[in-house]
Structure 1
């Protein structure tokens, strides 16, 4: 595996780790308006990445199908949505600001289920990075190293607030700073692992690349609509989540077009 690929799949993980480190020098809890702003920003980045880095390349890969080039993107998108729906049902987890856990009823600590919630939506992000790098390694048209790097950087930027959003509440739950930091870091470890496994299977997935690109997009969009948008809108009404969504969206769009 080339050094460019190793760097690319570790960049998002670094973003999560740096965000988790906020627990060492920030207040014990995040103000609700700050948490809504960070969540809105993350949602904007994920939506833009789903469109410019995943769905559009998926349709470009299917260009020989002519007017039906949208079919692999539609199929993969729906499979991604349904895949995350299944994980949402079978993995016990607890969303930020919620008092009721989702998934099967199990006797787990609240802090553990908070971490599971973040791990759950980090899965499609890792797959997205892995699929794009696998396509670049295979020489697929429309997928460049700089485009893959743009996706890695964009996800790393939105992972920074996510790292803080997981470590800070764990600290507020009574967990020590060091342990809260480690849990925040580990919540992001699924991304490079998922990317690495995807890249290892590159020679087998290339024929299915349009489906896999849109699969990752569907999974990411599920996370945005099911988790991030409700979290950025909860509590007293404010527009901060919407405005930061727009900032995240335009930043990721700019990165993808400028670097891709």
Structure 2
């Protein structure tokens, strides 16, 4: 196999040099590379970063398997395979290249998401990385596995997501607005980054009227000051 290791590590290779531009469909084990067999009999979404758009290209009735193919300029850059539960919610990945979780977990998990919202959230996360926003995204509640109330007015249908402000880490305890302000040195710089992030959420189907932040007049939100959002912002997908 004609390929060069990355940092002398064969577990990290440049996909385009090895695998016919089919990234993430291979894994390494027992001293060799193996091709992953993705499900063909599944619901399939295509997410196009260069167009800020997604489309469900295949629907399989009564099938709980979902494949999300992430493209940039027609090149496949990532593939995700999720499974829906009996409430038609999908278990969104807890970690990714530029995201992770924060906060405590509810019984049965609290990262359950609507299928279309998953496409939008994947697009949002990948676009942040593509646009050079390097701060990791730490998300908390989406919805419970059974759509029960987990302490929010929303977060029951897989359309709403809580995210820590950029510049905050995912260590234990509240990370208030002031922490991010200090991270960016000035509130003006912090708000500019936050508004850029929220603008990307709008491109991916999250809606201004369902987006909330701590202070009023933040662009791409409802514009209201909401005290419960002093340690996180909220993005809400169209419904």
TM-score over 0.5 for the pair:
no
TM range (shorter): under 0.3
Structure with greater strand percent: 2
Structure of higher CA gyration radius: 2
- TM-score by structure 1 length? 0.26
- TM-score by structure 2 length? 0.28
Structure with greater helix percent: 1
